[in-house]
Amino acid sequence: MPPALRRTLLWALAYGTLGFAAGFAFGALRELVLIPAFGDRTGHLLEFPMVTAAACAIGVWIGRRSSGPAFAIGVLGVVVLIAFESTMALGFMRVSLTDYLAGYDLTRGALFPVGLALMAFAPVIGRKFSRR
């Protein structure tokens, strides 16, 4: 494997892993604090900007430090995050496939795809900042 490709894949793996870890931490906050205090929908709505900002901050940081194609790192990071998230939900938590896919349905108010799109572009923004 060419060194440049290996570096890109390693940055993407780091991005997806750190993004998943941030989502896991904020998910615990949502379940333990936000939902009991504010209800299910409001708890999710309060958590979304926090976890999205954290994932994007990680992406900007990686975009500033990496040398590979920033958008590829972002998209592959999202793929890694989805792989971890789907394994956790479908494999360990035994969420039904229908319920899992509902989390991606924008017409039902799902915000997860919006966060993933922002996450994919965050390294590009970080790269632009690093060139100033």
Domain region containing 16: 9-130
pLDDT value of residue 1: 86
The whole-model pTM stands at 0.92
**Is 33 a member of any domain?**
yes
**Is 3 a member of any domain?**
no
**Is 2 a member of any domain?**
no
pLDDT value of residue 131: 61
Given a contact cutoff of 8 angstroms between Cβ atoms, the answer to whether 77 and 120 are in contact is yes
* H helix intervals, 30-68: 35-38, 40-65
Nearest to 64 by CA among 1, 4, 123, 3: 123
Given a contact cutoff of 8 angstroms between Cβ atoms, the answer to whether 58 and 18 are in contact is yes
pLDDT value of residue 129: 85
**Is 71 a member of any domain?**
yes
Number of structural domains (the chain) is: 1
**Is 4 a member of any domain?**
no
**Is 95 a member of any domain?**
yes
**pLDDT tens, residue order, the chain (132 aa):** 899 999 999 999 999 999 999 999 999 999 999 999 999 999 999 999 999 999 999 999 999 999 889 999 999 999 999 999 999 999 999 999 999 999 899 999 899 999 999 999 999 999 998 765
**Is 1 a member of any domain?**
no
